[in-house]
Structure 1
Amino acid sequence: MGRVPSVAKLGFIGLGAMGTPMAANLLAAGHVLAVYTRRPASAEALVEAGAVACASASEVASRSDVIFTVVTDTEAVETVVLRAGGIVEGARPGTTVIDHSTIAPAGARRLAVALERHGVHMLDAPVSGGVQGARNATLSIMVGGDRAVFDACRPLLAHLGKTIEYIGPSGAGQVAKACNQICIVVNQLGVAEAILLAERAGVSFEPVQRALMGGFAASRILEVQAPKMMSRRFDGQIESRLHHKDILIALDMARQLGLQLPASALAADVLTKLQQAGGAHLDSAAVFSVLEHSR
């Protein structure tokens, strides 16, 4: 793949909480942008800013040299890439697909192989940093795929993130994301337990949090998720269903590799209980409520 021009023809598919600000950053950088979403209303602001709304993923592909996707799971990526009306129907040889979704590494590898048959490159490039990171273009981006394709696309990724790391061949970016999600959901349970312990002991967790943030226990989870747990307000933007999906991917990988991940398994169990209690769309910090009401 050659060098990406300073004004590139880009496509973006998936305009949810993460995709919309990411697409906006690419548009703000001066690139030509075609977009597709199942909910046309979510594209209105981008269209007003200069993006072109398309009727299908294949139409986006026909207008683009590099196509970004951010959808929910492996099946959703396969749908927008390979099925009727998908990217593969409109993409020309030499096109690159950069998938920022969190999916199974094996799924990313399958998609890369399928696209390569059509002369289309693919990078699996999941992100971490949440909606705020997407808005501020400070995401951490973990990339798997051909190194030369990554090098060519890196200037585009720089419009989206601050930490851009090439991990390895196809699927390696998704392995890194699985590691990321393990650290998040396990740490989240630890923070929830710490809050419960302090409160049951009659101690406000607010000064405890400040003390912990000054020491070795400091973490982004303690900083960001603890206030949600303390206030019992779980209407944030990190939906628990997504962390539930992601940790199940990590556990499935572990089973295939013959590994035991007991802390991850416990976190998955608590997240499963949260889904069963109707908390799929609550912030992932709502695992606190499962622990708080457990007997």
Structure 2
Amino acid sequence: MHTSISKVGFIGTGVMGRSMAEHVMKGGYELHIYTRTKSKAEELIEGGMRWHDHPEELARECDAIITMVGYPSDVEELYLGERGLIAHAKPGAYLIDMTTSSPALALRIYKEAKSRGIHALDAPVSGGDVGARNAALSIMAGGDEHAFEAVYPILERMGGQILLQGGAGAGQHTKMANQIAIASNMVGVCEALIYAKHAGLRLDGVLQSISTGAAGSWSLSQLAPRMIAGNFEPGFYIKHFIKDMGIALQSADEMGIELPGLALARELYQRVADAGFADKGTQALYLAWDQG
């Protein structure tokens, strides 16, 4: 444990945040939590985490604060403004946003925090609910090296692959690259299964053959079995993935580059969301082809 950090705040104990907070607490840190719906955090409170009614109360107590919320608008509201974390955090505190959010917003937060003597890092993750449960997330960070090193022992409680990618916003840009790679890959995984199904093949056998060859991917190994089983419950919400693809397309536009594969994936995901599946897992993209 880093000597100057003993009290850690965790805001956003949803599908992934809950497991992540538990892993940090097992590292010997005193955990302080806040989430919008207190009832969803009851088990964590019973397990010894300390509840706060408002984020600013939590901020006054903690040496480091981790946030894992839904949208860039949530991040902005949480960090900036009179009631934000930056306004109420202790001088020298470490703020770690693990939400997948906008690189431009990460830079704004970093600058505002720095002006008040607070260290801000953007550290989005990949690995979904399984990675969170197994403390095997890939963590991509952006910010100052000394701040990254100070919170590394905390990040180590949650992830396996933990890399500082560059200055503020670099973590978010790396996560965008991650989401871009996944988006088109998910289209390919769905089309492969639909093709195999219509060819009259046994899907689990097809999966066994192709997942160990050149077509192998995390999505194919982890999510294709869920598609075959008709399990569309969320490890990662479709609505959040659509949000991520929007951020990536906007960032790409700002950089003057075209991403047609990503644009197509977003269009297909939007179709599934409009059909009433926005709160399902990303593997529900399969339903764009197969409603049976």
Identify the TM-score tier after normalising by the shorter chain.
over 0.9
Q: 2:242 is matched with which residue?
A: 244
Letter in 1 for 2:213: G
What is the match of residue 277 of structure 1? 275
Residue 210 of structure 1 aligns to which amino acid in structure 2?
A: Q
How far apart are the structure 2 equivalents of 1:214 and 1:277? 33
Counterpart position of 2:22: 24
The residue aligned with 1:150 is: 148
Aligned match of 1:188 in 173, 178, 186?
186
Pairwise CA distance, 1:107: 0.9
- Residue of 91, 95, 99 corresponding to 2:89: 91
Partners of 1:7 and 1:30 within 8 A in 2: no
Say yes or no: does 1:102 pair with 2:96.
Answer: no
Once the two structures are superposed, residues 140-189 of structure 1 have per-residue CA deviations (whole angstroms, 9 ceiling, x without a partner) of 10000001110111111101111101100000000010011111121111
Q: Match for residue 65 of structure 1?
A: 63
Please give the secondary structure, in 1, of the residue aligned with 2:277.
coil
Aligned amino acid, residue 274 of structure 1: V
Change (3 A) 1:255 1:7: closer
Tell me what 2:228 maps to. Answer: 230
- Counterpart of 1:76 in structure 2 is 74
Report the CA distance between 1:287 and its aligned residue.
1.1
* Distance in 2 of aligned mates of 1:284 and 1:117: 39
Q: Tell me, in whole angstroms, the C-alpha distance in 2 between the residues paired with 1:84 and 1:227.
A: 47
AA aligned to 1:251 is L
Cα distance in structure 2, aligned partners of 1:254 and 1:43: 37
Q: Give, in whole Å, the separation in 1 of the partners of 2:5 and 2:245.
A: 38
Distance 1:167 1:7, change over 3 A: closer
Displacement of 1:60? 0.8
Alpha-carbon offset, residue 237 of structure 1: 2.3
Amino acid at match of 1:238: F
Report deviation, 1:4: 2.6
Structure 1 CA distance for aligned equivalents of residues 227 and 62 of structure 2: 43
Matches within 5 A, 1:254-273: 254-273=252-271
Alpha-carbon distance between aligned partners in 1 of 2:239 and 2:196, rounded to the nearest angstrom: 28
Residue 148 of structure 1 aligns with an amino acid whose one-letter code is H
Amino acid at match of 2:42: E
* Distance 1:7-1:172 versus aligned 2 partners, 3 A rule: closer
Q: Secondary structure at the match of 1:34?
A: strand
Q: Which moved more, 1:206-215 or 1:122-131?
A: 206-215
Q: Distance in 1 between matches of 2:202 and 2:257?
A: 39
Q: Deviations over 1:82-117 (max 9, x none)?
A: 234321232121111000000010011111111222
Distance apart, 1:6 and its partner CA: 7.7
Deviation sequence 1:64-86 (CA, Å, 0-9, x none): 01100000111101111123432
TM-aligned CA distance change 1:7 to 1:151, over 3 Å: closer
- Partner of 1:236: helix, strand, or coil? coil
Partner of 1:199: 197
| TM-score normalised according to structure 1 size | 0.95
Whether the aligned pair in 2 keeps the contact of 1:101 and 1:125 (CA below 8 Å) is yes
CA displacement, residues 252-285 of structure 1 (integer Å, 9 cap, x when unaligned) = 1111111111111110110111111111001111
For residues 204-256 of structure 1, what are the alpha-carbon distances to aligned partners after superposition, in whole Å with 9 as ceiling and x for unaligned?
A: 22211111122111111111111222233312322111111111111111111
Deviates more, 1:78-87 or 1:166-175: 78-87
Which contiguous aligned blocks of 4+ residues in structure 1 show a shift greater than 3 angstroms? none
**Aligned residues between the structures:** 291
Note the C-alpha offset of 1:7: 6.2
CA contact (8 A) 1:7 1:32 kept: no
CA contact (8 A) 1:56 1:86 kept: no
Q: What is the DSSP-based 3-state SS (H/G/I as helix, E as strand, rest coil) of the residue aligned with 2:83?
A: coil
Q: Tell whether the 8 Å contact from 1:56 to 1:85 is kept in structure 2 after alignment.
A: no
Distance in 1 separating the partners of 2:166 and 2:127: 21
2:110 maps to 112
Partner residue, 2:285: 287
Q: CA deviation at 1:25?
A: 1.0
Give RMSD over aligned pairs.
1.5
